[in-house]
Amino acid sequence: MALIVQKFGGTSVADPEKIKNVAKRVLSKKRDGNQVVVVLSAMSGETNRLTDFALAMQDIPDAREMDVLLSSGEQVTISLFAMAVKAMGGECVSFLGDQVKIETDSSHTRARIENIDSDRILGELNSDKIVVVAGFQGVAENGDITTLGRGGSDTTAVALAAALKADACEIFTDVEGVYTTDPNMCSSAIKIDKISYDEMLELASLGAKVLDIRSVTFAKQYNVPVHVRSTFTETEGTWVVKEDKDMEGKVVSGVTYNKNEARITISGVPDQPGIATKIFTPISDADIIVDMIIQNQDTGNGMTDMTFTVIRSDYQRTLKLLESVVKETGATGGIHGSDSITKISIVGVGMRNHSGIATTMFSILSREGINISMISTSEIKVSCIIEEKYTELAVRALHDAFELGKDSLPEEETL
């Protein structure tokens, strides 16, 4: 008998019929002899409906009250799910975040889970019930409802799996798993059977939307095997697990891209201590998140350039903020930038043992005539900023060159 946590997202519970299908699927897992805990999101569309209401009330809705509002969405799906299971002859009980003490800090709309009391859930499981828990929500020390932010239900599921020492956490979604790259961009993309936590972390932070990054962090920390798979088929998906020997064989596991950034350069700033603080303090004070930062070496004239990326929707606001910085620092080259860029990345744990992967990436892009304007690397990934219009070309070229796809064998060998 295994203990499985199954998480279904908003598209999987979008209407009463879909909720019934999920109930049927969960019941079948239960009847196979497993203990099952289900985590649900709000019906797709519901969060937007509620957010529209909130925006009709207040330009920037109060964060505490926003959490009270949005958490009602999962409350609806878990109760309907429990009814559906009971109608099918199963036993089921629903719990809200505060009822199973999913304790978080008090950062409303983006709270972090700190602790979960597993006793109540284990008790219900042992009396042979399916337990359904509201995703996305928790409770702060003072009893206030908190929410975990976009993708928070993934985190709820993995955190529950960790607290319950579950055998696996299954994340059901509308795709079949994690792909070597976006299949919409590259038809030879294939589903990855097994990927390490670290690779998944890089993929998630680089723009792959299939799994929320915080859930991967939790999974890694507590060593929870996560199975990302489709709600609508029985096909095996992608297992996100602890790194093993097999994985090192493949140098690059995936290619990913992110079109949601913008690049800004402030040129001709005096190369002296404290210059970075002067530039970035007003930006962080404005709650603008900076991703990549590159400072060029002083080329001899005592001046340097500072280039960085921000989320695209913060581009205009950042440019405005920098106007006073230019005056203050006496930057002679002014500000320039672009909001039509893409960050393209390759990820793979095998890179640790292989040199020259970054160089290979640069030469592939160069062969296609694609200019690289920024580079950033970690132990298991290389990212390049390129012009947005080259995204598809770059993805396909890298995917082919690193032999990730189903058509990856050299042409002569397939013949």
List the one residue out of 270, 261, 402 whose CA is nearest residue 339: 261
Smallest gap from residue 130 Cβ to a second copy (A): 12
Nearest distance, CB of residue 19 and a second copy, angstroms? 7
Q: Per-residue DSSP letters for 141-157? A: TTS-EEE--TTHHHHHH
Interface residues with a second copy (CB under 8 A) are 16, 19-20, 50, 53-54, 56-59, 61-62, 64-66, 68-69, 71-73, 75-76, 78-80, 82-84, 86-87, 93-94, 96, 98-99, 143-145
Nearer of residues 134 and 186 to a second copy, judged by Cβ? 134
CA dist., res. 293 & res. 286, Å (int)? 17
Residue among 27 and 50 whose Cβ is closer to a second copy? 50
Least Å distance between CB 123 and a second copy? 11
Our CB check for a second copy shows the closer of 33 and 143 to be: 143
CA–chain centroid gap for 202, Å, is: 9
Q: For the CB of residue 21, give the shortest distance to a second copy in the complex, in Å.
A: 12
Dist CA 265 CA 281 (whole Å) = 16
Min dist CB 129 to a second copy, Å, is 12
Q: In angstroms, give the least distance from the CB of 25 to a second copy.
A: 15
Q: How far is the CB of 146 from a second copy (least distance, A)?
A: 13
Nearer to a second copy, 100 or 380 (CB): 100
Burial code of 250-270, b = ≥16 C-beta within 10 A, e = fewer?
A: bbbbbbbbbeebbbbbbbbbe
- C-beta atoms surrounding 190 within 10 Å: 17
Question: CA nearest 373: which of 265, 272, 283?
Answer: 265
Q: What is the rounded distance in angstroms from the CA atom of residue 381 to the CA atom of residue 345? A: 7
* Closer residue to a second copy (CB): 89 or 369: 89
Q: What is the helix (H) or strand (E) element at residue 203, kind and residue range? A: helix 197-205
Indicate the residue among 108 and 214 with the shorter CB distance to a second copy: 108
Alpha carbons 11 and 77: distance in angstroms, whole number: 12
CA-nearest of 81, 125, 78 to 98 is 78
The answer to whether 14 and 43 have CB atoms below 8 angstroms apart is yes
- Among residues 99 and 373, whose Cβ is nearest to a second copy? 99
Smallest gap from residue 49 Cβ to a second copy (A): 10
Query: Of the two residues 72 and 376, which places its CB atom closer to a second copy in the complex?
Result: 72
Measure the CA dihedral 409/355/260/373, to 10°. Answer: -110
